[in-house]
Amino acid sequence: MYLITGYFDDTTGSILKHHIEEIAGITGNAYMTDNHIPPHMTLCMLEARDVGVLIPGFRQFAEASRSCEVIIASVGMLFPYVMYAAPVPNEELMNMSQRLTEIYGSVADVSIARYYTTDHWMPHITLAKRLDSAQMQRALAKMRDSFTPFMGRIVEVGLSEVNPHRDVERIRLI
């Protein structure tokens, strides 16, 4: 499995990292920090035999993409295990998703995970995963007290492997 991700400017990344660390501290669940998963937004999840078949499309996508602002407006949960920061879907984000679906939808031996196609994609920034019920309750209480909406900026895109997370390529957006 491979991901195409949006990475944030330093200020946005710092705010998100702070929330990730707060949740890890209050819950004892340090999955995100222990696995060195940086704050990011997954734009597309792909299955392919080899990352090499994904690189040309990734470069094409990066060339057509621009740095963009996102309003990170709330916190949400994907039950039962994931807490995330929720950006407001805007035209730039939806265009990114559409371009990725168009690029990889026709590449032989590549499939896009169902929930990452344009019509099914829900932008989110994972703050914690693999939470049990008690940890989710503590994380929610912490975010209720400390999270406030803020403006962020996606400034880079990356093509990465998972388990462990490793960037294959990153490209700075203009």
- pLDDT tens track for 107-143: 999 999 999 998 899 999 999 999 999 999 999 999 9
pLDDT tens profile 26-63: 999 999 999 989 999 999 999 999 999 999 999 999 99
Distance (Å, rounded) from C-alpha 166 to C-alpha 158?
A: 10
Question: Cα separations (Å) of 135 from 36, 53, 83?
Answer: 20, 39, 10
pLDDT tens per residue, range 136-164: 999 999 999 999 999 999 999 999 998 88
pTM of the model: 0.94
The residues, any chain, with a CB within 8 Å of residue 79's CB and separated by 6 or more, are none
